[in-house]
Structures are given as C-alpha cells and as structure tokens.
C-alpha cells in the first residue's frame, strides 16, 4: 500500500516500494483533501508504476490525493 500519493493534474505514476513482474490489482482510495476530485481512473498497470489520473464531477482532469493498494507478483 502506498499512502497519501499526490496526483497532479496530468496524473502520476505511483511510486512502488517493491519490484513486480506483473501488477494485477490497482485499488486507489480517493482522500478528502478539500479539492474537486470526484473519481480516479487507472490508465495502466505498468510495472514501473501504475499511471492514475484524477477527475472532477465534470470529468475534467484535476489534482487529488489517494491511498493506493497494489497487488502483483
């Protein structure tokens, strides 16, 4: 689990704490940071770090913070 990841307006590659050959699950939990983010989309599950982006209620890219659970092998 990676805690309190800052997601910029163009998204972020999640910094991994261990190496993976494959990532099977990326489960972001949007944190209430007072911003406008309404949901998070997982763009890819790259083993260098999954790419995630945050969107507001109008589906416009925005910033956010999230706790992210990653499972793989």
Q: Which helix (H) or strand (E) holds 15?
A: none
pTM of the model: 0.92
Burial of 1 from C-beta contacts in 10 A (0-12 / 13-18 / 19+): exposed
pLDDT value for 19: 96
Q: What is the mean pLDDT of each run of 10 residues along the chain (73 residues)?
A: 97 96 98 97 98 98 98 97
Residue 20: other Cβ atoms inside 10 A = 17
Q: What is the pLDDT of residue 44?
A: 98
């Amino acid at each position: 689990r990676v805690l309190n990841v800052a997601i910029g307006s163009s998204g972020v590659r999640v910094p991994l704490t261990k190496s993976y050959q494959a990532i099977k699950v990326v489960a972001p939990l949007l944190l209430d940071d007072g911003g406008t983010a309404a949901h998070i989309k997982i763009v890819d599950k790259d083993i260098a770090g999954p790419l995630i982006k945050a969107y507001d209620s109008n589906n416009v890219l925005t910033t956010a913070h999230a706790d992210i659970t990653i499972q793989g092998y």
